[in-house]
Structure 1
Amino acid sequence: MTESSALPGLPRRLLADPEMISACASRDFARIFQLAKRRGGFHSSRIARTCELTPSRVGEVISGKRKITNMTVIERIADGLRIPGHLLGLASRDWERAEIPTQPQPNAAMRRLAELQNAHTTVPSRELDDILAIAAGSKVTPTVLRSLQVSIEDYWRRDDEHGGEALRPAVIGQLRYVTGILQDTADPNYRRSLHGIAAELARLTGWTYFDARQYSTARTYFTESLRLAREIDDRTFIADVLACLSLQATYQDRAKDAVTLARAAQDSARLDGGTPRLMAMLSIREAFGHASAHNREATHSAINEAVHHFEHVNPEDHDPTWVQYFDRTKLTVDTGTALGQLGDAAAAEPLIAEALQAEPTTNIRARAFHTFWLARTQLQCSKVELACATATEALDLATIVESPRVLTHLREFRQLLGSHRTIPAAVELVARISETAN
């Protein structure tokens, strides 16, 4: 028997906690280890010993300096901490089957369960999140609401850093959990808050499907988010969901729809006194639609409107948390992206390059997008070797983050290199894109 199997694993109460379930679903081992230390009694050296890792590696994972993606290591962690396989997307571990009790339990309920099993009667099963929702009951408190909101903020952060593919099951599970307790909650104040949280989770779910280019499913969740927000008349949030639908329309080459949705979003925001930051973001989404339609005058008009709104941003404004990402750097890079889509590469290139210098390095997916757009504008300016070097940076970022949209842009860039494929840098890049993005 190895040392890891001789030591007990994480407490069952911790493994049943929604925060741990969420961390496992997204394979966020930094958070798993933090929870193991803070609430499971596992210090770093014990985690290292049970999972057959070095203490320094455990420390690097906890600090966010290192990720764990190797399946062998993930399986060692599951076995060492006794995390059931299904929580980490693995098959049932050998020790799970070995731990199934073979002796009948003394209480009547367990004897009845044994009788049902012996009679080959199927006991109805539920998804884990349903079981947890039933166990938790429907009691809602301000602390519960804040915990849910913090989870959403954390989901968005990890979506920016890693993409939404691995995150989606946890978000959908929490959405089902919130809609479940919403049905059992009578207090009007709590109901309003829960509607808002459910709307945010539905929008985030839609976003993960959009990023995966599963547009039909994304639209379904965006529509559900609109319905939830409409029930509490949250006009500003409705505006944001319409802006998401507008961006999706540009990816589907539906430029007119994109413009219509962006303008509807602005109308909705104005009804609730939309802040300058929000109005600037919505104007840029309209600019994307016009640029997709190659309408130069309308694109510049929408960009100017966005700049005008942003000039009136006040730190004292009560901006919704979900629009606070739209800062000066984001305005700059989005302006450059719209101009690049319009074909005005000379104006777009310095704007995107400037924004990339200021953009957080942790936002990997955004940096991958913006690096691609910089490469595209450089190519349009006939800076072929520089464009290939920049696109290589985008490709390196794309191997880190799970985003089919990023890979689609890189495949587009490969097509744009068609007339330059005699240049060694282009030949090498085309081969790498073909290997990675197909």
Structure 2
Amino acid sequence: MIGYEPPTALPRDLLDDSELRAALGAHDFGTVFRLARSRAGISYSRIAAECDIKPARVGTLARGQGRVTSFDKIARIADALRAPGHMVGLAPRPWEVVEAPAPLTSEKNGVTVRRRTFFEAATSTGLVATLPSIAKRDDAPKRLGTADVEALRTRTARLRRLDDVLGGGDTYRVYLGEYQHTKSLLRSASYSRTTGQELVSVLAEQAQQAGWAAFDAGKGADAAGLYKESHAAAGEAGNSALLGNSLAFLAYQTIAEDKAAAVRIASRSCETNTSGTPFRVRALLHERRAWACAVAGMQNETEKALAAAREALEESSDGEWQPDWAAWVDSTELDIMSGRCWTELRRPLRAVPILEQALARYDDAHARDKALYLSWLADAYLTAGEVEQAATVAARALDLSSGVASIRPRRRLAPVLEELSRHRGLAVVGDVLERARAQAG
């Protein structure tokens, strides 16, 4: 699960083939797909699924008809085939891990020093220079102390900022690398009991971040596994806030398959709240329970959970410490969640005003999230019978989601667009449907 490799990954001998290398360099993916099937036995249906391309289009490309030109599609294909970025004119992809072929050892002052080489995380948007280098960790300290753990926690917080502007398709391997590094420290370094407990707490936090990126990238099995590992680590560390958050993440992912189970898990997450739980964490757990209840159609429980979340935010006190992973929870976020809940409960008169006001305050720089939230506003307008306004909002969501390495905006917009298609006679609806088709490639 953690060492996931897509079933469409090309074997090394094929990647070394001159014909394939030339086709990749020319972005002639039709030839690439044909070679993948004939030389590696990779079916077109598998390629379509991993590359997020319609099966019919894969066949069309393989017959030499059409081209793939959009940046995000090229990056998606490179990731699915595990073709290194330089072969298709991209920066190194996040999954490109540089490892020593075997553990290297050297004798220094009578002590055997194990040297590790970690991957240099890169992203498809050219942020290589801004990422702290993971590859510069060859000489991890053998004895860890409080300062080392705090450095890891600070680094985790810095890398978390990538999620503000990038999708999980770009960040997953970065976060996964951090998690794996900390896990290796737990196995190989020495530390006091207190330091070890804090190190496991950092591991739980990193597992949640990696799990979230996996979920955002459409890697559901990876996400579930990481959330469960986070839950175990948070319990071992005695960190009730992270324990509750791991349950909230699991509930969020479970909703699509089992609404009742999601409500139960979300309720368990809220049970971890105590008088000492940071107020943003309490608010976060309550609002995620509200979401589970809303999707399950439980209006009264939704209202109670939203009220509890707002009460937690209103009880905040100046100077109270809050974990970085919950720093984004504020009144605007809660308003957006409230609007999403009312949309799910088919109460557009309550959903539209609060979403309109909150999204007016929400920066477009958070493109993935704003696109997602706009999809609920469009949905609410449809429920209210305001088709033209729904189409206008959906178009805005499409614009924001373009090029973002996340499957969730388009997945969330799909039923909205399907509903809009019943009104394709309206000019504004026709325009947004055509825009959606063009983006789908």
TM-score norm. by structure 2 comes to 0.68
Which residue does the alignment assign to 1:430? 433
- Identify, as 1 or 2, the structure richer in helix: 1
Shift of 1:217: 1.7
1:350 aligns with 2:353: yes
Q: For 1:424 and 1:131, how far apart are their aligned partners in 2?
A: 53
Q: For 2:138 and 2:95, how far apart are their aligned partners in 1?
A: 26
Shift of 1:134: 5.3
Could you list the per-position Cα deviations for residues 44-71 of structure 1 after superposition, in whole angstroms to 9, with x for gaps in the alignment? Answer: xxxxxxxxxxxxxxxxxxxxxxxx9999
* Equivalences, count: 327
From 250, 254, 258, the counterpart of 2:262:
258
Which residue does the alignment assign to 1:315? 318
Shift of 1:393: 0.9
1:162 aligns with 2:152: no
From 157, 163, 170, the counterpart of 1:153:
157
Any conservation in 1 of the 2:72–2:405 contact (CA below 8 Å)? Answer: no
In the alignment, residue 207 of structure 1 is paired with which amino acid?
A: W
Change (3 A) 1:345 1:148: same
From 160, 176, 183, the counterpart of 1:179:
183
From 223, 226, 242, the counterpart of 2:231:
226
Where 2:319 maps in the other structure, the secondary structure is: coil
Change (3 A) 1:261 1:71: closer
Change (3 A) 1:437 1:86: closer
Q: For 1:131 and 1:369, how far apart are their aligned partners in 2?
A: 34
Which residue does the alignment assign to 1:375? 378
Which residue does the alignment assign to 1:416? 419
Any conservation in 2 of the 1:340–1:348 contact (CA below 8 Å)? Answer: yes
Any conservation in 1 of the 2:351–2:380 contact (CA below 8 Å)? Answer: yes
Runs of 4+ in 1 over 4 A off after TM superposition: 68-72, 129-134
Any conservation in 2 of the 1:168–1:208 contact (CA below 8 Å)? Answer: yes
In the alignment, residue 233 of structure 2 is paired with which amino acid?
A: L
Gaps of 5+ in 2: 1-70, 76-85, 97-105, 107-114, 120-133
1:277 aligns with 2:274: no
Could you list the per-position Cα deviations for residues 345-396 of structure 1 after superposition, in whole angstroms to 9, with x for gaps in the alignment? Answer: 1110110111111123332221111111111112222222221111111101
Greater alpha carbon shift after TM alignment, 334-343 vs 157-166: 157-166
Where does 1:25-424 land on structure 2 (aligned, <5 Å)? Answer: 88-89=92-93, 128-129=118-119, 135-183=139-187, 184-250=189-255, 252-270=256-274, 273-424=276-427
Shift of 1:192: 2.1
Shift of 1:219: 0.7
Could you list the per-position Cα deviations for residues 174-219 of structure 1 after superposition, in whole angstroms to 9, with x for gaps in the alignment? Answer: 2121111122222223212211211111111111111123222211
Shift of 1:131: 8.2
Larger radius of gyration: 1
Q: For 1:71 and 1:381, how far apart are their aligned partners in 2?
A: 39
Q: For 1:89 and 1:213, how far apart are their aligned partners in 2?
A: 17
Shift of 1:239: 0.5
Q: For 1:141 and 1:175, how far apart are their aligned partners in 2?
A: 18
Shift of 1:91: 13
Any conservation in 2 of the 1:255–1:293 contact (CA below 8 Å)? Answer: yes
Which residue does the alignment assign to 1:44? none
Where 1:166 maps in the other structure, the secondary structure is: helix
Where 1:88 maps in the other structure, the secondary structure is: coil
Q: For 1:217 and 1:224, how far apart are their aligned partners in 2?
A: 11
Change (3 A) 1:432 1:310: same
Gaps of 5+ in 1: 1-67, 73-81, 93-108, 110-124
Shift of 1:333: 0.8
Q: For 1:164 and 1:256, how far apart are their aligned partners in 2?
A: 27
Where 2:190 maps in the other structure, the secondary structure is: coil
Change (3 A) 1:283 1:89: closer
Where 2:176 maps in the other structure, the secondary structure is: helix
Could you list the per-position Cα deviations for residues 84-112 of structure 1 after superposition, in whole angstroms to 9, with x for gaps in the alignment? Answer: x99823999xxxxxxxxxxxxxxxx9xxx
Change (3 A) 1:341 1:146: same
Shift of 1:310: 2.5
Change (3 A) 1:240 1:69: same
Change (3 A) 1:394 1:87: closer
In the alignment, residue 151 of structure 1 is paired with which amino acid?
A: R
In the alignment, residue 285 of structure 1 is paired with which amino acid?
A: R
Q: Percent identity?
A: 24
Q: For 2:398 and 2:179, how far apart are their aligned partners in 1?
A: 33
Q: For 1:410 and 1:127, how far apart are their aligned partners in 2?
A: 41
Greater alpha carbon shift after TM alignment, 313-322 vs 169-178: 313-322
Shift of 1:340: 0.6
Where 2:273 maps in the other structure, the secondary structure is: helix
Change (3 A) 1:437 1:300: farther
Any conservation in 2 of the 1:388–1:429 contact (CA below 8 Å)? Answer: yes
In the alignment, residue 370 of structure 1 is paired with which amino acid?
A: Y
Any conservation in 1 of the 2:240–2:273 contact (CA below 8 Å)? Answer: yes
Any conservation in 2 of the 1:253–1:292 contact (CA below 8 Å)? Answer: no
Change (3 A) 1:163 1:308: same
Change (3 A) 1:244 1:437: farther
